[in-house]
């Protein structure tokens, strides 16, 4: 709804109304009430009063109304009934979809003004398997179990609706997952993914990305990619167990760091501990369709990604970043060192050989960094 100075409006959530005296922004106007006071008000909390004919007559009396929500997705009611909580993902081409895996999605009710209003929290299962999930939120004293359920393949589960004052309670947590299917050659490992989201991210419009499979803009946290999930048993393993009964296959519980999709600080995806990041610059790790690229194109993509991570580290005052560049002919490493030499206040050297061999460079950042 667009308003201009002079429009007569009614308040949605309280008695009264007034005249628009100033358009403050695309989201806020000043409303002069009957007493002459200017009241800054969100446009979504107002209804324009049309001339008193037809539907305009409805506004002759003071009424309270709930805020209308313009949405591009199917809202889920806050109920524990299975059929209400679970809904299918929107089928879209693979090229426009998120990778196969499990995700946490924060979907604003108000899709036009993403940084206002309530937010629906969903678990998104974009895998061919049923996901058995448990959600825990971290508190000052421990963890609270929020929800648990099985989510069918290519479906999303409504978890909760939170208001802006409750965002902090969803800043840290853990999602545990088991994958179930009727028949297959392998048994997939259970996964435990801990997530951490800065509260300030919810108040930045660029944090919300268009997500076709849920048909809405959302903050999307990647809990685990299906390609990263290991198997704990295969047909071959079972056969070997029959031959040697004393040797049993060991179960591996996979612990993953959740990654936020398209964050404004790309480096946050690679934190391995507070203020320390580890970035794999191998082309397969940063670019999915690399088979048809020539060597020069691969090199340019790697250097562009390195520069982005380096800039984010400087801007966000990161303490240390480990860049894994591999060995090869040494071209990528030499170019990285050349770039690092352009800055005053950076300290760099070969990373731990025991852990990375000779294929990684460790960079420390001081508080005062400047170009030479």
Same fold flag, 8-60 and 69-263: no
Q: In this model, does residue 157 exceed pLDDT 70?
A: yes
The span from the CA of 276 to the CA of 323, in Å, is 11
The span from the CA of 108 to the CA of 349, in Å, is 44
- Topology of domain 69-263, per CATH? Immunoglobulin-like (2.60.40)
Model pTM score: 0.47
For the chain, give every domain's residue range: 8-60, 69-263, 265-372
Neighbours of 200 (CB within 10 A): 10
Number of H helices, E strands in the chain: 6, 24
DSSP string, 250-319: PP--EEEE-EESS-SSGGGGGEEETTEEEEE--HHHH-S--TT--HHHHHHHHHHHHHHHHHHHHHTT-S
Which comes out higher in pLDDT, residue 50 or 224?
Answer: 224
pLDDT band with cut points at 50, 70 and 90 for residue 137:
very high
Q: Give pLDDT tens digits for 160-191.
A: 999 988 888 998 999 999 999 888 788 888 98
The span from the CA of 86 to the CA of 354, in Å, is 47
Biggest alpha carbon distance in the chain? 89
Q: Give pLDDT tens digits for 355-369.
A: 888 889 999 988 777
| Residue 75: predicted pLDDT | 35
| Residue 184: predicted pLDDT | 79
| Residue 28: predicted pLDDT | 74
Residue 283 near residue 307 (C-beta atoms within 8 A)? no
| Residue 272: predicted pLDDT | 85
pLDDT band with cut points at 50, 70 and 90 for residue 135:
very high
Nearest to 198 by CA among 267, 143, 150, 252: 267
Which comes out higher in pLDDT, residue 151 or 206?
Answer: 151
CA distances from 155 to 81, 124, 131 (A): 15, 6, 10
pLDDT band with cut points at 50, 70 and 90 for residue 150:
very high
Q: Give pLDDT tens digits for 67-117.
A: 333 333 333 333 333 446 888 988 877 766 778 899 999 999 988 888 888
CA distances from 219 to 101, 165, 261, 313, 323 (A): 16, 17, 7, 22, 27
Q: Give pLDDT tens digits for 293-351.
A: 888 888 989 998 999 899 888 888 889 999 999 888 889 999 999 999 998 888 999 98
- Topology of domain 265-372, per CATH? Ribosomal Protein S8; Chain: A, domain 1 (3.30.1370)
Backbone angles phi, psi at 246, to 5 degrees: -75, -20
Query: 303: alpha, beta or left, given left = phi > 0 and alpha = psi -120 to 50?
Result: alpha
Burial 212-228 (b: 16+ CB within 10 A, else e): ebbbbbbbbbbbbbbee
The span from the CA of 5 to the CA of 275, in Å, is 49
- Topology of domain 8-60, per CATH? SH3 type barrels. (2.30.30)
Residue 188 near residue 224 (C-beta atoms within 8 A)? no
Q: Give pLDDT tens digits for 4-44.
A: 888 888 877 677 788 888 776 667 778 887 777 778 777 87
The span from the CA of 50 to the CA of 56, in Å, is 5
């Amino acid at each position: 709804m667009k308003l201009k100075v002079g429009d007569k409006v009614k308040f949605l959530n309280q008695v009264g109304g007034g005249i628009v005296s100033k358009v403050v922004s695309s989201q806020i106007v000043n409303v002069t009430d009957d007493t002459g006071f200017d009241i800054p008000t969100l446009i979504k909390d107002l209804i324009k009063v049309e001339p008193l004919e037809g539907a305009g007559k409805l506004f002759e009396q003071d009424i309270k109304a709930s805020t209308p929500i313009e949405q591009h997705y199917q809202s889920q009611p806050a109920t524990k009934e299975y059929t209400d909580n679970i809904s299918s993902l929107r089928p879209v081409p693979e090229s426009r979809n998120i990778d196969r895996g499990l995700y946490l999605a924060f979907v604003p009710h108000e899709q036009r003004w993403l940084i206002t209003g309530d937010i629906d929290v969903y678990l998104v299962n974009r895998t061919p398997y049923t996901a058995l999930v448990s959600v825990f939120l971290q508190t000052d004293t421990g963890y609270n179990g929020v929800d648990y359920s099985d989510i069918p393949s290519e479906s999303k589960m409504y978890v909760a609706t939170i208001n802006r004052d409750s965002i902090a309670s969803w800043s840290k947590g853990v999602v545990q997952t088991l994958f179930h299917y009727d028949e297959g050659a392998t048994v997939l490992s259970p996964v435990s993914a801990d997530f951490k989201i800065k509260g300030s991210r919810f108040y930045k419009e660029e944090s919300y990305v268009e997500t076709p499979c849920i048909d809405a803009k959302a903050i999307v946290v990647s809990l685990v990619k299906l390609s990263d999930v290991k198997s704990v048993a295969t047909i071959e393993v079972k056969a070997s167990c029959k031959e040697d009964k004393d040797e049993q296959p060991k179960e591996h519980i996979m612990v993953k760091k959740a990654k936020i999709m398209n964050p404004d600080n790309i480096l946050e995806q690679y934190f391995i501990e507070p203020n320390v990041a580890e970035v794999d610059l191998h082309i397969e790790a940063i670019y999915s369709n690399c088979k048809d690229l020539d060597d020069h194109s691969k090199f340019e993509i790697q250097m562009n990604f390195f520069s982005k991570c380096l800039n984010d580290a400087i801007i966000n005052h990161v303490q240390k970043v480990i860049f894994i560049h591999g060995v090869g002919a040494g071209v990528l490493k030499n170019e990285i060192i050349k770039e690092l030499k352009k800055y005053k206040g950076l300290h760099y050297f070969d990373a731990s050989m025991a852990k990375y061999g000779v294929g990684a460079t460790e960079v420390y950042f001081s508080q005062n960094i400047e170009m030479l």
